[in-house]
Amino acid sequence: MLKDKVAIITGGTRGIGFEIARVFLENHAKVVIFGSKKESVNQALASLREEGYDASGYYPNLSDFNQIAQVVQGIKDKYGHIDILVNNAGISANKKIEDTTVEDFQKIMDLNVNGMFNMTKAVVPFMKEAHDGVILNTSSMVSIYGQPSGVGYPTSKFAVNGMTKSLARELGSFNIRVNAVAPGVTNTDMVAALPKEMIEPLIKTIPLGRIGQPRDIANAFLFLASPLASYVTGEILSVDGAARS
């Protein structure tokens, strides 16, 4: 479904992003993963290679626009075009507001919001030039209802939805579609890091009776990246087993 499309996936070294990379490769995209460290990027590329897939990877600081612009220019020079951007890198939080420092809050916004803005700003000129492109953002079910602690995380994901809907309107006339996927609780390291007391009550509220697997989420990204979603833009697609917390 993505034959010869060039896709950049941030946070592509593990969890949801790694599975998006895998499902895009299965569908014949050319995949470039971004991670936070050289070692994790190399490890992810090695795992993909073991499965028979050839991808490339970088580890720019997503808070640094100039660094990103340089790397993105290099990708454009190498492949000739950039068709799909998946802004997936993100960190979570679970402290009460009294325990959340100004720096904690800033750190989340820097990656989850500023990083997304920086990546998008770097890629859009090439998509405009091609009059073609797909931008996909990883939101969260907490972007709809908030959560009872770790306020920076839902705040950042509300911003993700705002950026998604606004850029869909701004870029539609350039044939660039912008959508987000809002996963529910998904079986990744991010969830493993959260306290049991937070996760177990959540699972009880999920009508499908289980947490999501990375593949459940990656398939939604595949749909939105593919021509099957040619008239879908500005959408926040919940993929959460109907969890409503």
Please report, as ranges, the residues that interact with ligand NAD according to CB under 6 A.
Answer: 11-17, 35-36, 40, 62, 88-92, 111, 138, 140, 183, 185-186, 188-191
Least separation in angstroms between residue 68's CB and ligand NAD is 11
Burial 201-226 (b: 16+ CB within 10 A, else e): ebeeebeeeebbebebbbbbbbbbbb
Please tell me the distance from the alpha carbon of residue 115 to that of residue 118, in angstroms, as a whole number.
Answer: 5
Question: In terms of Cα–Cα distance, which of 140, 123, 15 is closest to 76?
Answer: 123
Q: Is-catalytic flag, 79? A: no
Least separation in angstroms between residue 52's CB and ligand NAD is 21
Q: Which is nearer to ligand NAD, 16 or 171 (CB)?
A: 16
Which residues fall within 8 angstroms of residue 28, CB to CB, at 6 or more apart?
A: 1, 2, 3, 4
By CB neighbour count within 10 A (0-12 exposed, 13-18 middle, 19+ buried), where does 227 fall?
exposed
Q: Which is nearer to ligand NAD, 207 or 227 (CB)?
A: 207
Give the number of other Cβ atoms within 10 Å of residue 173's Cβ.
9
Least separation in angstroms between residue 148's CB and ligand NAD is 16
Q: Which is nearer to ligand NAD, 1 or 191 (CB)?
A: 191
CA terminus-to-terminus distance, the chain: 34
Q: Which is nearer to ligand NAD, 43 or 175 (CB)?
A: 43
Please tell me the distance from the alpha carbon of residue 164 to that of residue 54, in angstroms, as a whole number.
Answer: 30
Least separation in angstroms between residue 131's CB and ligand NAD is 29
Please tell me the distance from the alpha carbon of residue 105 to that of residue 151, in angstroms, as a whole number.
Answer: 8
Least separation in angstroms between residue 44's CB and ligand NAD is 8
The one catalytic residue in 79, 145, 153, 231 is 153
Residue 224: enclosing H or E segment and its boundaries? helix 214-225
Q: Which is nearer to ligand NAD, 89 or 136 (CB)?
A: 89
For CA atoms 140, 112, 178, 37, the dihedral sign is negative
The catalytic residue positions are 153
